[in-house]
Structure 1
Amino acid sequence: MKKMTFIDVFAGAGGLSEGFVKAGFEPIAHVEMDTHACKTLETRNYYYALKNANKLQVYYDYLLGVISHEDLAESVLNKLDNVINASIGDDNTNIFNRIDELCQGRKVDLIIGGPPCQAYSVVGRHRINKLEEDDPRNLLYKQYGLFLEKYSPKVFVFENVLGLLSADNGRYFYDIKDYFRTLGYELDSRVLNTSDYGVLQNRKRVILIGWKKGSDFSYPELVAEPNPYTVADILEDLAYLEPGDQKNITNYANDINDYLEKSEIRSDMDFVTQHVARPHNDRDLEIYKIAIDKWIGSRERLKYADLPERLKTHKNQTSFTDRFKVVDIDNYSHTILAHISKDGHYYIYPSTEQIRSLSVREAARIQSFPDDYYFEGGRSAAFKQIGNAVPPLMALKIATEIKRAL
């Protein structure tokens, strides 16, 4: 049976694509402007190609450093170079030409993706009040629409942050929906929390789904599922780390547990990659210990103003008072954001035995990426890609229900 196809625009590191691929859809193209994210997408493509050819050991050799990325690429026969490293704008002629080549006469069934969300986020809200031309990100939904006009898919999925609903008192979201309707689509939206779909993280996102007018499609029923697991289930099998430890290759510390098996986060590999921690200075480590003791001892968050004066470096003690935050080991994590690439203060490991911030692999697991997913570009680039991503487990739920409806 022929697989349904999709194009992923503003693809990032491929979290949304991962869910659709696992649900049985075939990617025609991924369009992304970040070079490191594009290399990550290429590496994931090679993983699937080698898996389908029963040659996964070649992929493992790459992760282990036995072969280079060039060797990895050469090992994949008949590969289509479907990762397009380009910035989406008003003139997408080159992108469209490349996608047309990749289509090879096939119809595009879906378009998925979400424009960069900073312009709609609470942090970026002050920019919303500027004129639209002052912040072109406010109009990226129209660039998304150009792909709908060009390829006329049956269905599209548009993902973004919760702040999109209230930006400019709701005008932007109204404009987005109105614009997509002018392109010939009916649509509906839901606010979904990733913790309802197997992800051990409280992360609310707006999921807008559109379908061709006149079709019998409707917004799929995305029923929340019981999720009795906690962050402890993510962390317990990973090796001990000191601040600054660079365990790019390490063995698992414990056997697989129910959550890691059910979610398929832990792969068939007998090793794990990118379990690397950033270094911290003595002042930060002292603050982290205070924050951990306070959270574990009394479930209280550290307020910046409560720190000893000798540990304070900021005069402003009223904004971002919770800039040091411990991950809740007994529940779901708070939202992983791209800011984790800047520092680890908001993602402190929940134990006095390992005083540090989360490793790259721990953050990836909280986002529900499988352990065989490799993020290219180094530690900071990996953190950024992880923080910006759609959690694959939630993407899988959306993709499965869309497939069922289609």
Structure 2
Amino acid sequence: MRQVRTISLFSGCGGSDLALKRLGYNIVWANDISQVACDTYSDNIGPVIECGDIADFESFPGAEFLVGCYPCQGFTQGGRRSWGDSINYLYQQFDRILRTLSPKAFVVENVNGMAFGVNRRLLNNQICRYRLAGYRVKWQVINAQDHGVAQSRRRVFIVGVRSDLDFIYTFPTPQFGVNIGRRLVTQRDMLAGMPEWPVGDFNEEPFHWYYLSRRRRHDWDEPSPCIVGHWRHVPLHPMSPPLKRIHTDKWVFSDKGPARRLAYRECAALQGFPRNFIWKRGTVRERFQMIGNAVPPPLFQAVVKNLEKLW
């Protein structure tokens, strides 16, 4: 496949763009508002990212492909979950740039909370806007564990192809799981050989009542629970004692063995980042945020790969 000129918006530390590089796409411009994320992106993807509020940018290089993973705090179960939150409307900036560039195709990723309840109105609005911009649009909720990520993580993907092009996009089918005859990638697979107690790399605060209101620990031979951006809420390491449910929203440890949350490098591995990805920017807390907010590279790669015949 030839190198397709690509622009990446709300790029974060580069999870989506690492996938694009692996597929041979030519990222000509990227953007994020977080300086720490931009610096991490530059360390790993390259010096093509500009830091700042996307609303302040008016001109862009030409591109055939546009990708964006706009922030999702208003939709996620781990966030504020406020339908009226202004951060929920950053898709309008994506729509503005989509209409400016008129690329052949685009891909958007966001949390699956966008697809349910009152948030569904916002998803429908996005789809309507993108169709009015001249695109055939499809969307689907996909679980990262079905595509080689050692984590149960459901995300909404919106894919659009310009209406004047003779190409119909189809979402990837699961490649891992019982029905496929190929076992899921597990925490044991991804965490093998990593330090057992990496002091300074994980949150050592006590496990408060809210933390133990849900099952935060999965076994070694399971995928991890969803990796989130807040370091207090990341899952337990599988070396921790099993949890026992004693009430609707209350879990306790089954014994008094050592327990800890996952370290940030472990979270990165469970997101599908390679171990040589450079995490030297910001505080440990900021690294957790970058990693938890990122798109798992193998998942994004699976979605984008099905566009290759378009080019």
Return 5+ residue gaps in structure 2 as ranges. Answer: 177-181, 241-256
Give the residue type in structure 1 aligned to 2:260.
R
Indicate if the aligned counterparts of 1:125 and 1:167 stay in contact, CA closer than 8 A: no
Partner of 1:187, secondary structure, is strand
Equivalent residue for 1:111? Answer: 66
Which residue, out of 383, 392, 406, partners 2:288?
383
Q: Give matches, 1:294-313, under 5 Å.
A: none
* 2-structure distance, mates of 1:364, 1:241: 16
> Which structure shows the bigger proportion of residues in helix conformation?
1
Give the residue type in structure 1 aligned to 2:11.
A
Q: CA deviation at 1:184?
A: 1.1
* 2-structure distance, mates of 1:378, 1:42: 17
Return 5+ residue gaps in structure 1 as ranges. Answer: 47-80, 101-106, 247-275, 288-312
* 2-structure distance, mates of 1:349, 1:125: 26
Larger Rg: 1
Indicate if the aligned counterparts of 2:105 and 2:161 stay in contact, CA closer than 8 A: yes
Partner of 2:54, secondary structure, is coil
Q: CA deviation at 1:239?
A: 2.3
Q: Give matches, 1:191-340, under 5 Å.
A: 191-226=141-176, 227-228=182-183, 229-241=185-197, 245-246=199-200, 276-280=201-205, 284=206, 322=213, 325-340=216-231
Q: 1:399 to 1:354 in 2, by over 3 A?
A: farther
2:91 is equivalent to residue 166 of structure 1: no
Indicate if the aligned counterparts of 1:120 and 1:167 stay in contact, CA closer than 8 A: no
Equivalent residue for 2:246? Answer: none
Percent sequence identity over matched residues?
Answer: 27
Equivalent residue for 1:351? Answer: 239
Equivalent residue for 2:53? Answer: 87
Partner of 2:306, secondary structure, is helix
Give the residue type in structure 1 aligned to 2:195.
A
Partner of 2:309, secondary structure, is helix
Q: CA deviation at 1:210?
A: 0.4
* 2-structure distance, mates of 1:32, 1:145: 16
Give the residue type in structure 1 aligned to 2:50.
I
Equivalent residue for 2:253? Answer: none
Indicate if the aligned counterparts of 1:324 and 1:346 stay in contact, CA closer than 8 A: no
Indicate if the aligned counterparts of 2:234 and 2:262 stay in contact, CA closer than 8 A: no
CA displacement, residues 325-347 of structure 1 (integer Å, 9 cap, x when unaligned) = 2243221111101122xx2x542
Equivalent residue for 1:393? Answer: 298
Partner of 2:38, secondary structure, is helix
Indicate if the aligned counterparts of 1:159 and 1:206 stay in contact, CA closer than 8 A: yes
Partner of 2:278, secondary structure, is coil
2:309 is equivalent to residue 404 of structure 1: yes
- TM-score, normalised by the number of residues in structure 1: 0.66
Which residue, out of 126, 133, 139, partners 1:183?
133
Which residue, out of 155, 167, 180, partners 2:105?
155
Indicate if the aligned counterparts of 1:185 and 1:213 stay in contact, CA closer than 8 A: yes
* 2-structure distance, mates of 1:365, 1:2: 30
- RMSD of aligned alpha carbons: 2.2
Runs of 4+ in 1 over 4 A off after TM superposition: 123-126
CA displacement, residues 49-96 of structure 1 (integer Å, 9 cap, x when unaligned) = xxxxxxxxxxxxxxxxxxxxxxxxxxxxxxxx421101122x522xx2
Give the residue type in structure 2 aligned to 1:355.
A
Equivalent residue for 1:263? Answer: none
Which residue, out of 140, 144, 158, partners 2:90?
140
- TM-score, normalised by the number of residues in structure 2: 0.85
* 2-structure distance, mates of 1:236, 1:320: 26
Partner of 1:374, secondary structure, is coil
Indicate if the aligned counterparts of 1:220 and 1:405 stay in contact, CA closer than 8 A: no
CA displacement, residues 210-262 of structure 1 (integer Å, 9 cap, x when unaligned) = 011121122234021125231111122112325xx24xxxxxxxxxxxxxxxx
Bigger shift: residues 30-39 or 373-382: 373-382
Partner of 1:127, secondary structure, is coil
Partner of 1:156, secondary structure, is strand
Q: 1:167 to 1:139 in 2, by over 3 A?
A: farther
CA displacement, residues 5-53 of structure 1 (integer Å, 9 cap, x when unaligned) = 211101111111111110110101110000100000110135xxxxxxx
* 1-structure distance, mates of 2:212, 2:261: 18
* 2-structure distance, mates of 1:144, 1:42: 22
CA displacement, residues 317-363 of structure 1 (integer Å, 9 cap, x when unaligned) = xx6652572243221111101122xx2x5422122575321111110
CA displacement, residues 136-166 of structure 1 (integer Å, 9 cap, x when unaligned) = 2232111001111111110000111111112
